[in-house]
C-alpha cells in the first residue's frame, strides 16, 4: 500500500511539473518593415520600407552585422505614404546565426518595424522591432538534443493540459481496466498520433468541440458499463475517433522555435514521444490510484457510486458542450443528409459483422472515394446510387430482418466509396480546406457508427429496435427524395415542357412494369396448401429504383407546343430558365462547350457581347488564382412587355440576382450580384433566346459562406 501511495505522489508531481502555462503569440503586419531574403548562400536581397508621417520620412537606418558588405548601392523608390530602399548585401564570411540585426533612430518615436529574415534552408524569422527593443539576435539552429527536449516536453504538456483527456483515462482505468485491455490504450495512442500528423499537414480539420463531445460520450458509455447497467462489449472502434480528434487539437500547438522542414519532422517525432509520455503518465497516475483503493479493500464498494457520479458528470458536461449548437446553430457540422442516413445504415448492419471491421472498412473505402474526387474523378450519379442502396437495405431489414451477405458487403464497401466521393464533392464546392474538412467529417461519421452500433451489438437481427430504425431511415429517405424532387426535378420538368420538350421516364416505366409483373401473388392453390406468400422485397426494390430514376428521361419534341402561345407565368419561367442557363454556362472550363451552351440560350448576334460582358462582371475585382462558379440565378421580378418590335420579339423589364461562389486558396466566400434592366426574348426555331440586354443598375455584395 505504501509503495502504491509513493508511486501515486511521484506521478502526480511529475504531471504538475509539465503543466506550465503555454503562451500564445500572433504575427502583425506593419507598414514599416525590413526584409532580408537569402537568394544564394550568404547573399541577401534587402527591402527597407519607412513610413511617411506628416510629410516627413522617419529618420531610421538599418544596423547589419559587421561581416555583411553592400554589393549594390541602395535604390530608392516610394509613394506619398512610404519610402522604399532595396539593395544586396554579402554575408558569406560568417553566417547570420548569433548576429544582431536592428534599426537605429527609433528613439523618441512610436513607430514599430517588422523584421523578416528568410533563409535558404527554409527558416523564416519575424520579429517586431520597437524603440525599447530595436535589435534582434538571430538564434542558432536547434540541435537534436534541443529538439528532443522541446518536442517531448511540449508533447507531454499539450496532452496533459486537456481536462477531458484526464476524465477519459480515469474512466478507462476504473471501468475498463488495464490488465488484458492494453489494446484499447494502444488504439487510443495510435488515433492521437494519426490525428496529430494529419492535422500537421492540414489533411484533417475538425472543430474544437469534437474532442470534448466524443470523449464525454465514451466516458458516459464506460460509466454505465461500470455501474453494471450495460452488459455490452466495449468496441475498440469507440476510441478511434476521440483519439483522432484529440491529435487534431494537439497539432494546433504553436511553437516559437523556427525550424527547417527536416527539423519540423524531427520535432513532430519527438512531440509524439511526449504524447506517449503524457499518456503513460496519466495511465500510471489513475492506475496507482485504483491500486491504492484496491489495497484498502474499498474499490468494489465504491465502484458503483463512482460510476453513477461519473456518468452524471458526463451527461451534464455533454449538455453543457452541446449548448454551443443552441446558441450558434451555424457550428453544427455541414454534412449532407444522405451521408447521415448512410452512417445510420452502417450502424444498423454493423453488428452482423464485427463493428470494428465495419468501421475500418468504411474508413478505408470512404477515403478512397475522397481521393478519387480530389483527383478530379466524380462518380456519376453517386447520390442516386447511395440513396437506392439505403432504401433497398432498409426495406430488406424491415421485411426480412437481415441483409444477404453479398448485399452487406456491397453496402459497406461500395456505399462507403460513394459516401466519401459525395462528401468530398460537397466540401470541395462549399467549404474552405475541403480535404481536411472531408476527413474531419469522415472521422465524425466513424464516431456516429461506433456509438449507434454499440447500443445494439447484442440485439437479435430481427428485433423491434432494428425495425424502428429501418422505418425511421425509410421515412427520412423519403423526405430527402421529396425535397430533391421538389427543388430540382419538378422545376426541371416544367422548364423542359415550356421549352417545347416532352420528358418521358422510359427506365422508370420499365421498372414499374417489371415490379407489377414480379409482385408475389397469393393464388388459390397457395391458400389451399396454407402456404405464406413471399414478401415483395424484389418488387419493392424495383419500385424504389423507378422513383429514384425518374430524373433520367428522354425528351421528345412536343408537336402541340408554340412558343408564342405562352402566358405571363410561362414567360417568367422561360426568362428564369434562359438567364440561369446563360450564367451557368460560364462554369464550363472548355470554351467550346461554353459557347455551345450559350448559343442555346442567346441569339447569335449577341453571343460575343454576352460572353465578354458576363465574364468581366463575374470576375471583376478578383485576385489572381481565384475560381468563380455560378451557384444560383433567381428572377426577382418580371414586368409586362413594354416594347413589342415584332411578333417574335418581346422586351421585358426585369430584376434578377446571380449568386456565385468565389474560391481562394484558403477560404470561400460568395458574391451576390443584383441586376435591373430590359431583356428582350426572341423566338428562334420555336425556342426563346435572349436577343438584347440593357442594364439600368447593378449592385454587388460579398457574403460569407457561413451566412448562406
pLDDT digits (tens, 9 = 90+) for 518-569: 887 766 555 555 556 667 777 888 888 887 777 776 766 666 656 566 667 7
b/e 288-306 (16+ beta carbons within 10 angstroms → b): bbbbbbeeeeebeeebeeb
pLDDT digits (tens, 9 = 90+) for 68-90: 888 998 898 888 778 889 999 99
Cα distance between residue 349 and residue 416, in whole Å: 13
Cα distance between residue 363 and residue 355, in whole Å: 12
Task: Please state at what angle helix 537-548 crosses helix 382-399, rounded to 10 degrees.
Answer: 160
> Do residues 629 and 594 lie in contact, with contact meaning Cβ atoms separated by under 8 Å?
no
Residue 611 CB: number of other CB atoms within 10 A? 18
Percent of all residues in the chain with a pLDDT value above 70, rounded to a whole number: 82
pLDDT band at residue 705 under the 50/70/90 scheme: low
Predicted pLDDT of residue 311:
92
CA 384 to chain centre: 22
pLDDT digits (tens, 9 = 90+) for 245-269: 999 999 988 777 788 888 888 999 9
Predicted pLDDT of residue 685:
73
> Do residues 142 and 150 lie in contact, with contact meaning Cβ atoms separated by under 8 Å?
yes
497 versus 460: the higher-pLDDT residue is: 497
What is residue 226's three-state secondary structure? Answer: helix
pLDDT digits (tens, 9 = 90+) for 102-151: 888 877 777 888 899 998 888 888 888 888 888 898 888 888 899 999 99
> Do residues 660 and 674 lie in contact, with contact meaning Cβ atoms separated by under 8 Å?
no
The pLDDT of residue 19 is above 80: no
Predicted pLDDT of residue 462:
47
> Do residues 28 and 298 lie in contact, with contact meaning Cβ atoms separated by under 8 Å?
no
How does the average pLDDT of the chain come out, rounded?
81
Percent of all residues in the chain with a pLDDT value above 90, rounded to a whole number: 25
- Which pTM was predicted? 0.78
Predicted pLDDT of residue 532:
63
Sign (positive/negative) of CA torsion 210, 367, 196, 453? positive
pLDDT digits (tens, 9 = 90+) for 434-467: 899 999 999 999 999 988 877 654 444 445 666 7
pLDDT digits (tens, 9 = 90+) for 468-479: 777 777 888 788
- Cross-strand pairs, 36: 46, 117
The pLDDT of residue 706 is above 70: no
Q: How much is the average pLDDT of 493-513?
A: 73
* Domains of the chain, earliest start first: 1-26+142-332 (no CATH), 33-137 (2.60.40), 333-462 (no CATH), 499-557 (no CATH), 563-707 (3.10.450.50)
The pLDDT of residue 358 is above 80: yes
Predicted pLDDT of residue 533:
63
pLDDT band at residue 239 under the 50/70/90 scheme: very high
Amino acid at each position: 500500500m505504501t509503495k502504491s501511495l509513493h508511486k501515486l505522489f511521484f506521478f502526480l508531481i511529475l504531471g504538475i511539473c509539465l503543466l506550465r502555462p503555454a503562451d500564445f503569440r500572433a504575427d502583425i503586419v506593419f507598414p514599416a518593415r525590413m526584409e532580408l531574403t537569402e537568394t544564394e548562400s550568404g547573399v541577401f536581397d534587402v527591402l527597407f520600407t519607412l513610413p511617411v508621417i506628416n510629410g516627413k520620412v522617419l529618420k531610421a537606418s538599418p544596423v547589419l552585422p559587421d561581416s555583411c558588405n553592400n554589393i549594390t548601392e541602395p535604390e530608392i523608390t516610394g509613394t506619398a505614404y512610404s519610402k522604399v530602399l532595396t539593395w544586396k548585401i554579402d554575408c558569406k564570411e560568417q553566417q547570420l546565426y548569433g548576429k544582431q540585426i536592428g534599426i537605429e533612430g527609433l528613439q523618441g518615436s512610436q513607430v514599430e518595424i517588422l523584421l523578416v529574415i528568410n533563409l535558404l534552408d527554409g527558416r523564416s524569422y519575424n520579429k517586431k522591432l520597437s524603440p525599447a527593443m530595436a535589435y534582434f539576435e538571430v538564434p542558432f539552429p536547434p540541435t537534436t538534443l534541443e529538439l528532443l527536449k522541446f518536442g517531448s516536453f511540449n508533447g507531454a504538456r499539450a496532452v496533459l493540459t486537456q481536462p477531458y483527456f484526464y476524465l477519459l483515462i480515469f474512466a478507462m482505468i476504473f471501468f475498463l481496466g488495464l490488465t488484458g485491455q492494453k489494446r484499447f490504450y494502444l488504439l487510443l495512442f495510435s488515433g492521437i498520433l494519426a490525428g496529430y500528423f494529419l492535422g500537421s499537414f492540414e489533411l484533417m480539420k475538425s472543430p474544437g468541440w469534437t474532442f470534448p463531445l466524443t470523449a464525454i460520450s465514451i466516458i458516459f458509455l464506460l460509466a454505465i458499463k461500470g455501474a453494471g447497467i450495460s452488459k455490452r462489449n466495449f468496441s475498440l472502434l469507440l476510441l478511434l475517433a476521440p483519439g483522432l480528434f484529440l491529435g487534431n487539437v494537439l497539432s494546433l500547438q504553436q511553437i516559437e522555435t523556427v525550424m527547417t522542414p527536416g527539423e519540423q519532422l524531427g520535432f513532430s517525432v519527438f512531440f509524439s514521444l511526449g504524447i506517449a509520455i503524457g499518456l503513460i503518465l496519466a495511465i500510471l497516475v489513475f492506475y496507482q490510484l485504483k491500486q491504492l483503493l484496491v489495497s484498502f479493500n474499498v474499490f468494489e464498494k465504491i465502484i458503483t457510486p463512482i460510476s453513477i457520479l461519473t456518468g452524471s458528470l458526463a451527461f451534464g458536461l455533454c449538455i453543457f458542450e452541446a449548448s454551443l449548437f443552441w446558441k450558434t446553430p451555424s457550428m453544427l457540422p455541414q454534412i449532407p443528409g444522405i451521408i447521415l442516413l448512410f452512417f445510420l445504415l452502417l450502424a444498423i448492419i454493423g453488428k452482423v459483422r464485427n463493428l470494428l471491421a465495419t468501421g475500418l472498412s468504411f474508413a478505408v473505402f470512404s477515403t478512397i472515394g475522397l481521393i478519387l474526387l480530389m483527383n478530379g474523378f466524380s462518380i456519376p450519379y453517386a447520390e442516386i446510387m447511395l440513396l437506392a442502396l439505403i432504401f433497398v437495405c432498409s426495406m430488406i431489414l424491415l421485411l426480412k430482418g437481415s441483409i444477404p451477405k453479398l448485399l452487406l458487403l456491397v453496402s459497406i464497401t461500395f456505399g462507403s466509396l460513394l459516401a466519401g466521393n459525395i462528401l468530398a464533392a460537397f466540401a470541395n464546392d462549399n467549404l474552405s480546406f475541403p480535404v481536411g474538412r472531408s476527413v474531419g467529417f469522415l472521422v465524425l461519421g466513424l464516431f456516429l457508427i461506433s456509438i449507434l452500433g454499440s447500443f445494439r451489438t447484442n440485439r437479435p437481427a430481427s428485433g423491434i429496435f432494428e425495425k424502428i430504425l429501418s422505418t425511421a431511415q425509410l421515412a427520412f429517405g423519403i423526405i430527402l427524395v421529396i425535397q430533391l424532387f421538389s427543388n430540382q426535378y419538378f422545376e426541371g420538368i416544367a422548364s423542359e415542357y415550356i421549352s417545347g420538350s416532352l420528358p418521358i421516364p422510359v427506365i422508370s416505366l420499365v421498372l414499374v412494369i417489371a415490379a407489377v409483373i414480379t409482385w408475389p401473388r397469393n393464388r388459390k392453390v397457395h391458400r389451399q396448401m396454407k402456404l405464406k406468400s413471399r414478401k415483395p422485397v424484389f418488387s419493392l426494390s424495383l419500385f424504389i429504383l423507378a422513383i429514384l430514376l425518374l430524373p433520367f428521361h428522354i425528351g421528345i419534341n412536343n408537336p402541340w407546343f408554340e412558343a408564342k402561345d405562352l402566358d405571363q407565368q410561362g414567360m417568367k419561367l422561360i426568362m428564369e430558365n434562359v438567364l440561369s442557363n446563360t450564367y451557368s454556362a460560364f462554369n464550363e472550363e472548355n470554351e467550346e462547350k461554353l459557347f455551345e451552351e450559350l448559343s442555346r440560350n442567346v441569339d447569335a448576334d449577341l453571343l460575343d457581347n454576352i460572353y465578354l460582358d458576363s465574364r468581366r462582371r463575374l470576375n471583376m475585382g478578383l485576385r489572381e488564382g481565384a475560381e468563380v462558379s455560378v451557384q444560383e440565378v433567381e428572377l426577382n421580378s418580371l414586368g409586362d412587355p413594354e416594347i413589342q418590335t415584332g411578333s417574335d420579339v418581346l422586351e421585358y423589364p426585369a430584376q434578377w440576382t446571380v449568386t456565385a461562389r468565389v474560391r481562394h486558396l484558403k477560404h470561400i466566400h460568395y458574391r451576390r450580384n443584383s441586376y435591373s434592366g430590359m431583356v428582350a426574348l426572341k423566338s428562334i426555331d420555336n425556342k426563346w433566346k435572349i436577343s438584347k440586354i440593357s442594364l439600368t443598375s447593378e449592385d454587388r455584395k460579398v457574403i460569407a459562406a457561413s451566412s448562406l
